[in-house]
Amino acid sequence: MKQVIISVLGCFSFLFISCNAGPEPLQIGKDNCYTCKMTIMDPKFGAELITDKGKVYKFDDVICLQHFIKSGEVKQENIRQQLVINFEKENDFLAISQAGFLVSPGIKSPMGSQAAAFSTREAAEKYNSTLQGELLSWKELSGKLQ
């Protein structure tokens, strides 16, 4: 009887854990951007959108994420998380609202947004010392992306 209870609890635990989707590491050279369909090739760029049902959408550049959001394919109220890749660390996901963005012609992002995400505004400022780009929040950047 004890083994049956443990087995049942194990199954419920597995089901509960599998429903709590978080970010999925980008598989460089294998995953495709949901918006532009290009293969994700640069580990310094990328984004993910996770729905409240756990579906993960992957993007190769923040501009593709922005186009997807504007498309309305997923309603805003159904979005659980929006994440970007930390420019300084491969597969280090940052909450998009907490990231600092640097926009500069010197940044060669996959789809031409010229934007890189950093874990802090200070990190973006440090990287910007030679680029003379513009430091923005996601709200500011998303308003500029076309």
60-89 confidence digits (pLDDT tens) = 999 999 999 999 999 999 999 999 999 999
Contact between 45 and 109 under an 8 Å Cβ cutoff? The reply is yes
116-128 pLDDT per residue, tens = 999 998 999 999 9
Query: Does residue 146 or residue 82 have the better pLDDT?
Result: 82
The C-alpha atoms of residue 74 and residue 18 are separated, in whole angstroms, by 21
Give the mean pLDDT of 97-120. Answer: 95
